[in-house]
Amino acid sequence: MANNDMNDKRVVIVGGGSGMGFALAELLVAEGARVHLAGRSERKLAAARQRLGASVTASRTDIADEDDVQRLFADPVDHVVVTAADANGSYSPIESFPLKAAWTVLGTKVIGPWLVAKHAAAVMATGSITFTSGIAAYRPSPGSSVLATANGALEALARTLAVELAPIRVNVVSPGWVDTPIWDDLAGPAKNERLAAMAAKLPAGRVGRPADIAQAFRALLGNEFITGTTLHVEGGHRLV
């Protein structure tokens, strides 16, 4: 069996109850992988499992809680993907940015992935760990100071871990704007209008779909010669 083959591979997706993590789960289940979803909302995880089928397992996990993360990696795993992010309160002018909200963003997007690597590495021999950063680090906009910092830090973390944890490969996918439930928190009723305005600006002529990002994760999981890399999947957003 080629290592690129996902059949029977054990894959943990932290944040896989929705959005791009869920789309990756769909893709991997179709290839015969043994997928485990982790997130905070049991309701969201149960709904995801219902859609994906009984082969998928799930557990309630707060990525910022070390006990939760340690419990998640009790058994060996082949690949780990982190898409978790608590977006509530992640955009604010710096003058009024509450410190607590800043720690929440950093806790889910930087320290959480660090905890995942810490405990996943103990049960992995080879395989890969993939984090999710984002366009905010590359196309700065007012109000995104903490998110941009988190995304940039995550990429530095991945490069370091690619060396420290080798032969486990560690990479990052950096999405542009993708139509997922996170936009319900970020934009509320203005979601469709904001996504349509961005679509009109992008060379790709549309915003991302969760499946676009899932395919990028899948490529990183399967390609044994990619480590310490950030893969941008953003429809040309960095160019405009």
Asked if residue 82 lies in contact with residue 62, where contact means CB atoms within 8 angstroms, the answer is no
Contact code string over 179-218 relative to ligand NAP, x by CB under 6 A: -xxx------------------------------------
**Residues in binding contact with ligand NAP, number by CB under 6 A:** 30
Residue 75, phi then psi, degrees to nearest 5: -120, 160
Q: Fill in the per-residue mask, 46 to 85: x = in contact with ligand NAP (CB under 6 A), - = not in contact.
A: ---------------xxxx------------------xxx
CB of 160 to ligand NAP, least distance (A): 19
Q: Between 152 and 181, name the residue whose CB sits nearer to ligand NAP.
A: 181
Contacts with ligand NAP, 120-149, as mask; x by CB under 6 A: ------------x-xx--------------
Task: Name the packing angle between helices 42-52 and 19-30 (round to 10°).
Answer: 30
Binding ligand NAP (rule: CB under 6 A), the pick from 39, 113, 127, 235 is 39
Question: What is the closest distance, in whole angstroms, from the C-beta atom of residue 189 to ligand NAP in the complex?
Answer: 17
Task: Provide CB contacts within 8 A for 236, sequence distance 6+.
Answer: 202, 203, 204
Smallest gap from Cβ 23 to ligand NAP, in A, equals 8
Selected from 13, 19, 77, 168, the binder of ligand NAP by CB under 6 A is 19
Residue 93 CB, shortest distance to ligand NAP, in Å, is 20
Using alpha carbons, list the distances in angstroms from residue 160 to 66, 111, 169, 188, 213. Answer: 21, 14, 11, 37, 23
DSSP output for 75-105: S--SEEEE-----TT----GGG--HHHHHHH
Q: Where in the sequence numbering do the catalytic residues fall?
A: 133
Q: Which of 199, 198, 205, 127 is nearest to 166 (CA)?
A: 127
- Applying CB under 6 A, does 110 fall inside the site for ligand NAP? no
Question: What is the DSSP annotation of 131-196?
Answer: EE--GGGTS--TT-HHHHHHHHHHHHHHHHHHHHSTTSEEEEEEE-SB-STHHHHHHGGGHHHHHH
Q: Return the residue of 18, 130, 145, 227 that touches ligand NAP, per CB under 6 A.
A: 18
Which residues of this chain interact with ligand NAP, rule CB under 6 A?
14-15, 17-21, 39-41, 44, 61-64, 83-86, 108-109, 132, 134-135, 175, 177-178, 180-182
